A = this chain, B = another copy of it.
Amino acid sequence: MRIGELAKQAGCDVETVRYYERDGLLAKPEREISGYRNYNTLHLADLQFVRHCRSLGMKLAEIKVLMNFRSSPDGDCAGVNALLDVQIVRVEEQMAAMSLLKEQLIALRNKCEHRRTNKECGIMQSLNYAVQVRKCPCHR
User: Which residues does A use to contact B, with CB under 8 Å?
Assistant: 45, 48-49, 52-53, 55-57, 66, 69-70, 72-78, 80-81, 84-85, 87-88, 91-92, 94-95, 98-99, 101-102, 104-106, 108-109, 112, 114-121, 123-124, 127-131
Contacts and interface: CB of A to CB of B under 8 A. Distances in A.
Given A56-B101, A88-B109, A91-B102, A77 B127 contact: no
A84 B106 CA distance: 8
The count of identical subunits is: 2
23 contacts: A48-B130, A52-B131, A55-B130, A56-B108, A66-B124, A69-B124, A70-B118, A73-B119, A74-B117, A74-B118, A75-B118, A76-B116, A77-B115, A77-B118, A77-B120, A78-B114, A80-B121, A81-B112, A84-B108, A84-B123, A91-B102, A92-B102, A95-B102
